[in-house]
Chains A and B, each alone.
Chain A
Amino acid sequence: MLTSDVATFLQGGQCIHLGTRSETLEPTGVVVVAVSVDSDRSHLTAFLPKVGSSEVLANLEANGRAALCFARPVDDHACQVKGTYVEARPATKKERAVVEAQWDQSLRQLEHIGMPRQLWSGYAVWPCVAVRVRVTEVFDQTPGPGAGAPLA
């Protein structure tokens, strides 16, 4: 489903958010610390901070709809992955290094555009909940006239 280029982009330390909605169609969302794409490129695992994720996890359990926005801060290159929820589990100690490395990459990008790393030091990056999502659609989301085009 995801092309190799897109999969590389998603795991490249971008700024990521997960959007969900309630049964009454109230949307909400949470920061995603890191993402890991499965080798089949049809599934991905989003690592959400355990603190602050209860509402989106409840939404995912209830209706399974997920939207992940990935943006590269240095040039605003962005894409959106739509998917359906598969499962959630506590992230393992083994995954922690990968998660923290990606988070560090995103902070470096933010530093590059003038946002000091200390600004994010209050973020509850760990422990994480690993949320597995089946990818159903991918869209280009770079701002401008081409935004919204499907990325096959």
Chain B
Amino acid sequence: MTPSLDSLAPCFQGLIPAMLFTCSAEGVPNAAYLSHVDYVDASHVALSFQFFNKSRRNIAENPKATVRVLNPDTGQGWLLSLRFVRSETSGALFDRMALRIESIASYCGLKGIFKLLAADVYEVTAVRPAEECGASPEAVTVSGHVPADPVFTMQALQHMSARIHAAESLEQLLDSILAGFAEVYGFTHSMLALATGESNVLVTVASRGYSENGAGAEVRFGEGIMGMVAEARKPIRISGLLRGMLYAQAVKIRAQQAGMHAFDARVPLPGLANPESQLGIPLLVRGDLIGVLCIESETPYRFHEDDKTSIELLGSYLAIAVQHMQLHERADVVASTAVVEPPQPAPKAAAPASQPGRAVREVVFYSADECILVDGEYLIRSLPARILWKLLSARMRDGRAEFTNRELRLDKSLNLPEWKDNLETRLLLLRRRLEQKCPDIRVVPRGRGRFGVEVGCQLVLAERP
């Protein structure tokens, strides 16, 4: 019985490279590996066109082709007889295929070289098993789990929904979401980057499963899977990332040999050293990018199409929840400070002078770069750096230990935007960076728009150009 293309869905995950057979008008056959075969509909597939090569020239002369794909769950090979229909250089299909390829390219520092030129659409005229490539009698698969077993069930979504509703602060919400992915779905490595106001940059504010919390890691638009998701504002699911990276790496070496431009350094992507599957979801509210959620795994083909669809829905929900919490915290601040005006005299911090036996930390603010180094090590930059410098200077100068969000908002020297200042996100980021890099200095929430600055060391502050 001839199988339907739909039933071969696992073959189109890009886990195992496909082999494309073509033939010139003169009758010379050609066999070449193919980066990606994409399912289009019940009678069409799309092949990635990345380089002008012999296969492409053959198709221009003779539209017949055969592609051999393998099911990564069973090992069974299939031969698809194809007839070229058209090339697409824009539209949903092209965007989907391009996004996957460009994410890998970005990861390898090959953006602009390793790219999709067209999605070539073929009609599938016949499907037959590759007799020599039979299904494995053993139950070992590349994917490592049963294909028809999406993990994003309604019950799981309900669990996540309950977590979202129970969160009382932005920090709790973000941590609870990532904990939920681990506990409810078994996705132990995840991270969330949020927009902070700086254009085309997201900042990682929460992560789970990594040796470092990664707070403050910047994600520039177009770089890595999170940057690609942010730029395209579309979800990306990548399976068999190692295969894709090996292929891209081969291209990179050839590009360098050919003297073509290639970036010297790979864009550092926060996360697993050897991810096999990644799922990136944009968090959008009415077209505004709130942030990007990224889940990754060392297991190939970890995320299914159904997973992507479900988590996309979840992503919309999370985006609203995050934005709501940001607005809620801001409103709380306004309400609470309205009640307590004028502010009470701020409690004095313990005398910052000589404290024998405590470690000495040198905190240097570089005003030109707007960044802070602690004991010569980079801590944070931009607005969170300006905020920390203001807090530590006030503490040192006036002995203050307690502060309000409102006074930060009113401080013209901080230059916060009047609308969408994301102050709570930036304070959360600052708190996380300090926990990671300088636990002697702590920014501690005191509830409703107030926080304290606790210092467990002797501070030496210096400002340099």
Contact = CB atoms under 8 A, between A and B. Distances in A.
Contact of A122 (B22, B133, B254): B133
Interface residues of A, number: 52
B21 interface: yes
A23 to B, nearest CB: 9
B412 to A, nearest CB: 53
Contacts of A145: 51, 113, 251, 254-255, 258, 260
Contacts, number: 168
Nearest to B241: A114
B28 interface: yes
B32 interface: yes
Interface in B249-294: 249-255, 257-258, 260, 276
Interface residues of B, number: 59
A52 B27 CA distance: 22
Nearest to B34: A143
A36 interface: no
Contacts of A31: 77, 130, 132-133
Contacts of B134: 122-124
A148 B258 CA distance: 13
Interface in B110-154: 113, 130-138, 140-142
Interface stretch (B64-72, B426-434, B450-458): B64-72
B30 A26 contact: no
Interface string A12-44: 000001111100011111110000000000000
A121 B138 contact: yes
A67 B242 contact: no
Interface string A33-71: 000000000000000110111000000000101111101
Given A121-B136, A122-B133, A77 B250 contact: yes
Contact of B31 (A17, A73, A142): A17
A112 B435 CA distance: 38
Contacts of A80: 30-32, 54
B247 A76 contact: yes
B243 interface: yes
A128 to B, nearest CB: 10
A149 to B, nearest CB: 10
Contacts of A144: 51, 250-255, 258
Interface string A129-151: 00000000001011111111000
Given A31-B132, A49-B132, A148-B53, A120 B29 contact: no
**A-B pairs, 3 with minimum CB distance:** A144-B254, A52-B132, A52-B131
28 contacts: A18-B31, A19-B21, A21-B21, A21-B23, A25-B23, A25-B64, A28-B21, A29-B31, A30-B130, A31-B130, A31-B132, A49-B132, A51-B132, A52-B132, A66-B29, A69-B31, A75-B250, A80-B30, A80-B32, A114-B300, A115-B142, A122-B136, A123-B133, A124-B131, A143-B51, A143-B251, A145-B51, A147-B254
